[in-house]
Amino acid sequence: MASLAEAFRLDGKVAIIAGVGDTNSRHMALALAEAGADLALVARTATAIEPLADEIRAMGRHALAIRADLTDRPQVDALAQQVRRELGRIDILFNHAGSGGAAKPVIDYEDDEWRAVFAGNLDLVFFATRAVARIMIEQGDGGVIVNTSSTASRMTPPMVAPYAVAKAGVNHLTRCLAAELAPHGIRVNAILLGTFENAGPFLNDMSPGFGDWWLRETPLGRWGGASESAGAALYLASPASSYVTGSILSVTGGIAAAG
């Protein structure tokens, strides 16, 4: 039987981080690389991925830096094939990309703004999962898909209804995919993120005093640190969570409304 420490190892695995650009994605990628995985980093701009790819290569791992618009289905299909071609296989997919949209009442949203929020949070999860799951099924030895959701998906935050609804869709898509892909040995889970460092000003811009309220409602009494999502990411990606699928893992500081 493997030791507990060995259960968190990812040697020989290839992971895609679809949506690199914030501190959470950076620390998730570094955690997977430290555990032995090779990585493909995907973002719209080279500046978001090239330095991180260099850092991972310095750890002795392979790293691809791929520029792609994850809301564009042909680009997503192409990047999945590129990763398999250049790194040999795909074992892990992190759907981390997301877009908040404008902070304003839902009655003021235009049709194209509504659709853009869903494209930037829900559609891209579908596109990437479909492309990668097809490859995982062909490989025949299972895989792991982890989606990033938000505390907003379980709340009714002011001024961001489209974002909250789209992330709620990510939660349920996660559960549906877990049931559908389980016969292929593919586990699908989500990380429900709370608010992390420097979130207060952003929340207060959405609605005056909202950031202060959020902090008061968080039992741990602070914002999340830059690296505090990495442990959850490694757990869900690794064999340590081999009997976990269809779960929404809350990393929120315990905020009651997040469940």
Q: Are 136 and 143 in contact (CB under 8 A)?
A: yes
| Residues catalogued as catalytic | 163
Give CA–CA dist 39/204, Å, rounded.
Answer: 36
The DSSP string of 79-95 is HHHHHHHHHS---EEEE
Nearest residue to 166 (alpha-carbon basis) of 109, 108, 125, 110? 125
Q: Are 73 and 49 in contact (CB under 8 A)?
A: no
Take residue 217 and report the two structure tokens written for it.
């409602």
Phi, psi dihedrals of residue 199, rounded to the nearest 5°: -75, -25
Q: Are 71 and 78 in contact (CB under 8 A)?
A: no
Give CA–CA dist 37/50, Å, rounded.
Answer: 17
Reported as type and span, the H/E element at residue 74 is helix 73-87
